[in-house]
Every structure is written in structure tokens, then in C-alpha cells.
């Protein structure tokens, strides 16, 4: 996938800090591609409230990678992650 989507290996990275302590979140951007990565580092279900920046970024976005067969919930105001779930969302801007 890295060869197909250069944004994964070459894109600028910006960590999103206003997420729960057990969640790692960052976005990668390159040209007209963007990816947002959510990683739940805990054994509990975690809700990640989406600030204005992430809400706007998630419009028209698709799930690119998920380590669960059925993804957590993605809504307009939050993303719900299952225990140890990593979710990669991507779009073309």
C-alpha cells in the first residue's frame, strides 16, 4: 500500500493532540491526498470527540485500513474505537 499511496511514507505528518490519553491520532498530507490515523492503545472502547478540524477533514473520507472486520463507529461528532483498534481513513482532497 505504501507504493500505491505515497502519502503513507512521504506525506507531512501532524499529530492531533486533543484526543483521549489512550488514543494516538495523526494526519498525513501529500498533494491532494490525506489520511487520518486513529489508534486505541487501551483494552477499552474509547470515544474520540471530533473537534472542528477533524470534522471537516472526515467529510467524504473512506476506511482504508482497519484491524477489525467490523469497524468502530464513525459519526459526525465522534469516532468510537474498539479495544486496540487502529483505523486509517483516507481521501483525495
3-state secondary structure (DSSP) of residue 55: helix
What domains appear along the chain, each with residue ranges and CATH number? 7-92 (2.60.40.1180)
CB atoms within 10 A of CB 31: 11
pLDDT the model gives residue 33: 87
Q: Please name which of 53, 74, 54 lies closest in space to residue 62, comparing C-alpha atoms.
A: 74
Rounded to whole angstroms, the Cα distance separating 18 from 48 reads: 9
pLDDT at 14: 94
pLDDT tens-digit readout, 14-51: 998 889 999 999 999 999 888 889 999 999 999 998 87
> Are 21 and 40 within 8 A, CB to CB?
no
Spatial separation of the C-alpha atoms in residues 44 and 42, rounded to whole Å? 5
Unique residue bearing C-alpha cell 484491524 = 67
Grid cell listed for 62? 473512506
Amino acid at each position: 500500500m505504501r507504493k500505491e499511496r505515497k502519502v503513507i511514507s512521504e506525506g507531512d505528518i501532524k499529530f492531533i493532540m486533543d484526543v483521549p490519553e489512550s488514543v494516538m491520532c495523526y494526519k498525513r498530507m501529500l498533494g491532494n491526498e490525506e489520511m487520518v490515523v486513529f489508534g486505541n492503545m487501551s483494552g477499552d472502547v474509547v470515544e474520540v470527540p471530533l473537534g472542528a478540524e477533524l470534522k471537516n477533514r472526515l467529510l467524504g473520507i473512506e476506511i482504508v485500513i482497519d484491524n477489525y472486520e467490523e469497524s468502530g463507529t464513525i459519526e459526525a461528532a465522534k469516532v468510537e474505537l474498539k479495544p486496540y483498534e487502529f483505523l486509517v481513513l483516507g481521501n483525495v482532497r
